[in-house]
């Protein structure tokens, strides 16, 4: 069997809060460590010649968390948007944001646009960050966009172009850490043929050895795509 090329991996970064509690640390430190781990994984993906990483950073349901936790996450997002663009450029990482941006404050929305614009010049890997993202909301938004255009009949290709993630490739595989075995609304349209890998370790504990093992296991799987 020939080795299958991976174009895109999806990551459900679960377990930041549980990692913090297990180490007697405040929740915000779990999120901070989670961001550091995401940087590691993007580097590992580049080393594996993978061109796209889609990371589930903040779901639509996460707005319902405590005011303190949401406030810290917004502070972390602002720090990343204000301070990490040069690092992304230096490391040739393009950043794209997927989700309902209207729920963020104006300064965060502008920060997203600025990071996307400035990292799109010279890159060899794209990090798609799902922020305020919900899979059903994405599908409804795409449907409404087509309705507003007066479309009477639509193909899968035309529908895909209206998704928040477009033109990101569909993930070849999804990795979820933290021991849970579900997708939790992550890219439901795009993951119909994704291979799924569930890892017990909390996200901040996820190691390169496990990442490499998953990439190897993916290569051994037969992907028939319904054929």
139 within domain boundaries: no
159 within domain boundaries: no
Q: Determine the pLDDT at residue 1.
A: 40
What number of residues does the chain have? 227
How many folded domains does the chain comprise?
1
DSSP letter (8 states) at residue 84: S
Task: Decide if 122 is catalytic.
Answer: no
User: In which element (H, E) is residue 8 found?
Assistant: strand 8-12
User: Does 221 carry a binding-site annotation?
Assistant: no
Q: Above 70 in pLDDT, residue 171? A: yes
145 within domain boundaries: no
14 within domain boundaries: yes
Is 216 exposed, middle or buried, given 0-12, 13-18 or 19+ CB atoms closer than 10 A? exposed
Annotated catalytic residue within 24, 40, 62, 172: 62
Q: What is the 3-state secondary structure (H, E, C) of 164-196?
A: CCCCCCCCCEEEECCCCCCCCCCCCCCCCCCEE
179 within domain boundaries: yes
User: Does 16 carry a binding-site annotation?
Assistant: yes
Joined tokens for residue 65: 């968390």
User: Does 158 carry a binding-site annotation?
Assistant: no
pLDDT digits (tens, 9 = 90+) for 135-168: 999 999 999 999 999 998 999 999 999 999 999 9
150 within domain boundaries: no
Domain that holds residue 39: 8-134+170-220
User: Does 156 carry a binding-site annotation?
Assistant: no
Annotated catalytic residue within 14, 24, 90, 148: 14
Mean pLDDT over 199-221 rounds to 95
Task: Decide if 62 is catalytic.
Answer: yes
For the chain, give percent helix, strand, coil, nearest 5: 50, 15, 35
Q: For residue 221, what pLDDT band results from cuts at 50, 70 and 90?
A: confident
> What CATH number did the domain enclosing 119 receive?
3.40.1180.10
64 within domain boundaries: yes
User: Does 65 carry a binding-site annotation?
Assistant: yes
pLDDT digits (tens, 9 = 90+) for 79-132: 999 999 999 999 999 999 999 999 999 999 999 999 999 999 999 999 999 999
Query: What is the DSSP pairing of strand 195-198 with strand 173-176?
Result: parallel
Mean pLDDT over 59-71 rounds to 96
184 within domain boundaries: yes
């Amino acid at each position: 069997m020939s080795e299958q090329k991976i174009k895109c991996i999806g990551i459900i970064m679960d377990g930041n809060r549980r990692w913090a509690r297990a180490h007697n640390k405040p929740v915000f430190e779990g999120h901070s460590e989670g961001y550091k781990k995401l940087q590691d994984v993007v580097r590992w993906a580049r080393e594996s010649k993978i061109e796209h990483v889609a990371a589930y950073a903040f779901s639509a349901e996460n707005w319902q968390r405590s005011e303190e936790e949401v406030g810290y996450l917004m502070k972390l997002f602002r720090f990343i948007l204000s301070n990490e663009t040069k690092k992304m450029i230096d490391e040739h990482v393009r950043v794209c944001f997927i989700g309902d941006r209207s729920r963020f404050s104006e300064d965060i929305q502008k920060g997203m646009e600025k990071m996307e614009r400035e990292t799109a010049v010279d890159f060899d890997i794209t990090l798609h960050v799902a922020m305020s993202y919900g899979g059903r909301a994405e599908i409804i938004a795409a449907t409404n966009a087509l309705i507003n255009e007066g479309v009477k009949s639509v193909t899968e290709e035309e529908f895909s172009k209206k998704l928040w993630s477009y033109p990101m490739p569909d993930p070849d595989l999804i990795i979820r850490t933290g021991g849970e075995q579900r997708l939790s609304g992550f890219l439901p349209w795009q993951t119909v043929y994704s291979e799924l890998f569930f890892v017990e370790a909390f996200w901040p504990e996820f190691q390169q050895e496990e990442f490499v093992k998953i990439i190897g296991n993916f290569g051994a799987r037969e992907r028939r795509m319904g054929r």
